[in-house]
Copies of this chain bind each other. A is one copy, B any other.
Amino acid sequence: MSHSYEYPRAALTVDCVVFGLDVDDLKVLLIQRKLPPYQHAWALPGGFVHVDETLDEAARRELAEESGITDVYLEQLYTFGELDRDPRERVVSVAYYALAKLSDHRIRAATDAERVAWFALDGLPRLAFDHARIVEKAIERLRGKVRYTPIGFELLPPRFTLTQLQRLYEIVLMRPLDKRNFRKKLLSMDLLIETDEVEQGVRHRAARLYRFDRKKYEKLTRQGFSFDL
């Protein structure tokens, strides 16, 4: 294999689909490209992988550099290796998806990004490269995974109401859920801790706030329990 060293090599990038939950839809974070190719087009945050960093590190670095986002749930999605993805040359991209709490992040454009903004999933602009396909795949993954793992909580603040939680699932799964059944199910898992706080600043009855009990979840998981919407 050592002769392979001299062969031309594909360039390697990472791209991140960052999801954020808004009041009544899912948003995706996009950056407007400062440089060609696809100059001024909207694209996923991402960039070249350095030779001395892992893929996860590269994804976090690019996310921080281009959009100011840090401390998010991040998971590898898929690697895209079509021949014509990038007009310049052969580029293979390892895609990630991230779940962010919308309110947490003061986004700001930097380095290769002219602007940064959140876009509703069903109102995305035309995207650079094959990024539309990557977003597709990310949604699919999110929809699948939200049902059998508790990643949904990554989209909510640490304390949330049951109605917020229900809205989250309704938005991600794109179907209405029954309030009573939803509460019964979730509470019966015994993974939500009722706090002694309630919602603030609403002009109707304030809802109780809950926390997700991650410790307990991990313990139950080790015992064979399986989260299931």
Contacts and interface: CB of A to CB of B under 8 A. Distances in A.
A83 B53 CA distance: 7
Nearest to A112: B1
Given A9-B51, A52-B90, A79-B79, 16 more contacts: A1-B48, A1-B112, A2-B35, A2-B88, A4-B11, A4-B47, A10-B12, A12-B92, A49-B81, A53-B83, A54-B82, A55-B81, A56-B81, A76-B78, A79-B94, A81-B94
A50 interface: yes
A113 to B, nearest CB: 11
Given A2-B88, A35-B1, A10 B51 contact: yes
A8 to B, nearest CB: 5
Given A1-B112, A12-B12, A12-B92, A54 B76 contact: no
Interface in A39-68: 47-56
B54 A7 contact: no
Given A9-B9, A10-B12, A48-B1, A83 B112 contact: no
Q: How many copies does the complex hold?
A: 2
A87 to B, nearest CB: 12
Interface of A: 1-2, 4-5, 7-12, 35, 47-56, 76, 78-79, 81-83, 88-90, 92, 94, 112
A54 B35 contact: no
Given A10-B12, A76-B78, A92-B12, A4 B48 contact: yes
A61 to B, nearest CB: 13
A212 B56 CA distance: 40
Nearest to A95: B79
